[in-house]
Amino acid sequence: MSERVRRLAELVSGGGVVVLSGAGLSTESGIPDYRGPNGVARRHTPMTYQTFVGDAAARRRYWARSHVGWRTIARAAPNDGHRAVTRLQRAGLVDGIITQNVDGLHTVAGAGQVVELHGRLDEVRCLDCGVGTSREQLHRRLTEANPGFDARAVAVNPDGDVDLDDEVVAGFRVVDCAACGTGMLKPDVVFFGETVPVDRVARCFSMVAAARLLLVLGSSLTVMSGRRFVLRAARDGVAVAIVNQGPTRGDAYAAVTVDAPLGVLLPTLADRLCPLGAGSPQPVVG
């Protein structure tokens, strides 16, 4: 075991850990990240809130592409990294999780006290009446409204979007809210150009303030949405540790950085700190 991993284990073993996870944690579940080794940043421009609500053609294009991408997102399952985080939490070492991901995989893996900073892709909300529905229900409605639509995508982006030719999406039919009949539907996630709810951000800052260690997993911390928690931790004297494949914009604030696949390192860390199983009440460091 390397000296960096030993230092990481030592920090985590003290408990009081809040995890900040990014797309890199879900790559081994088949969901690519934006900036890591398998990233799609160079070829993908995410949808903005302003474009979604203001351009009917762009909205139709988004739903056509997302309808295809949802098939992959819906099949994604937690990987060894997610399960290791849950083990560390059940062992009493991790107090809570802030995730920038919209895939819901922390919760599926059995973790609790999860704040989904950017929302969840498996939920849909009407921008007019506010009624929420499941993405599965919307998927069935879109399938019924578009018989014969059988587009296939080569790759799916972290937000569930895919690349499709314009002629493929031109005839795609978008459905309105089933509750009010006319409302515009939007996935219950925070788009670029949209603000994360203030109360959600405040809860995250409160979690960081109460932590002994902020453990960043699979995030390049490129955007301020996640990096602000590292900056707050550094300002308040909360230790920071980062595990990511490649450098991050928070490395200068970290007590230790580890460049490694999370699906390999996190189970090793969990085995070391809670060898009796995920529910072990007496984590040990040997």
Please list the active-site residues: 118
Query: What secondary structure, in 3-state letters, does 173-207 show?
Result: CCCCCCCCCCCCEEEEECCECCCCCHHHHHHHHHH
* Token couple for 143: 């399938």
Q: Please check if 180 is assigned to a binding site.
A: yes
Which backbone phi and psi does 257 adopt, to 5 degrees? -125, 140
262 labeled part of a ligand binding site: yes
204 is in an annotated binding site: no
Residue 146 annotated as binding site: no
79 assigned binding-site residue: no
Is 102 annotated as belonging to a binding site?
A: yes
Helix segments in the chain, DSSP class H: 3-13, 49-54, 56-75, 80-90, 105-108, 135-145, 166-169, 198-210, 224-236, 262-273
Sole residue written with tokens 């390999």: 264
274 known member of a binding site: no
Contacts of 6 (CB under 8 A, 6+ apart): none
Asked if residue 219 belongs to a known ligand binding site, the reply is yes
Residue 263 counted as an annotated binding residue: no
Residues 6 or more apart in contact with residue 134 via CB below 8 angstroms: 122, 123, 124
Report the SS3 class of residue 235: helix
Detail the residues annotated as belonging to a binding site for Zn(2+): 126, 129, 177, 180
Detail the residues annotated as belonging to a binding site for NAD(+): 100-103, 218-220, 244-246, 262
Detail the residues annotated as belonging to a binding site: 100-103, 126, 129, 177, 180, 218-220, 244-246, 262
